[in-house]
Amino acid sequence: MTENTQSELKSRLLSAILPHVAFDGWSDPAFQAACDDSEIDMNLARLSCPRGALDLAVHFHERGDQKMIEALQGRDLSDLRFRDKVVLAVRLRLEGVEDKEAVRRGATLFALPHNARLGAGLIWGTSDAIWTVLGDTSRDVNWYTKRATLSTVYSTTVLYWLGDDSPEHEATWAFLDRRIENVLQFEKLKSQVRANKGLQNLLRGPNWLLSKIKAPEAKRPTDMPGYWNKS
């Protein structure tokens, strides 16, 4: 089966499963119903989605990331402060969601212990997509700290958004602004530490250690997020 065929099958199955997710979650019964509704043989469906509904939940999330990337690329961001670009990216990611209940069910699915690593990887992927499309060029430990910090901001904002019934999700955007402001305060503290010569002498050892951490090479496997530079 070609990659294009797999992608087409996933898209058809995803469209078919979404009406069932609200009732059955991202489950085997929902996957079976999607196969029936789309008239796709179960054996063929399993070729593109070996883990069934779980693979469709992943596809749903990644499709949301792609929509966000396209929306950002279509915007003129030149007049925005960087913090506002990040806020816009998170807003576009959530505003582009076509089925809020599917996200809610997905949050439950990826909270399960055996799916937690996969869920964390998806959140990391969203954060990486945001930083990449916004032009992040860091190749040192900051590559990781930026994505880790944004992962926390994004995941907490999603949880708040899921429970938000305010008009146009105004409460969520206010919550997001506060979280971004907290991050900026932390970055300000880091700058103050770097400017303090006494603290820099104290942190010389840890800073040397951190300087050896590099961003992943483009061709390295995605499950190996970094490497140790021995040079």
Query: What is the band of 223 on the pLDDT scale with cuts at 50, 70, 90?
Result: very low
Instruction: Report yes or no on 177 lying in a domain.
Output: yes
Expressed as residue numbers, the domain containing 118 is 76-228
Provide, rounded to the nearest whole percent, the portion of the chain with pLDDT above 70: 81
Instruction: Report yes or no on 171 lying in a domain.
Output: yes
What pLDDT is recorded for position 217?
74
- 14-38 pLDDT, tens digit per residue, is 999 999 999 999 999 999 999 999 9
Instruction: Report yes or no on 139 lying in a domain.
Output: yes
Instruction: Report yes or no on 202 lying in a domain.
Output: yes
Tokens matching residue 96:
């582009």
Q: How far apart are CA 231 and CA 220, in angstroms?
A: 18
Instruction: Report yes or no on 58 lying in a domain.
Output: no
Instruction: Report yes or no on 207 lying in a domain.
Output: yes
Instruction: Report yes or no on 103 lying in a domain.
Output: yes
**Of 58, 23, 95, 105, nearest to 222 (Cα)?**
58
What pLDDT is recorded for position 229?
39
Instruction: Report yes or no on 48 lying in a domain.
Output: no
Q: Give me the number of domains the chain comprises.
A: 1
Tokens matching residue 203:
């942190």
* Cross-strand pairs, 141: none
What pLDDT is recorded for position 185?
79
- 70-101 pLDDT, tens digit per residue, is 999 999 999 999 999 999 999 999 999 999 99
Residue 222 clears pLDDT 50, i.e. is over it: no
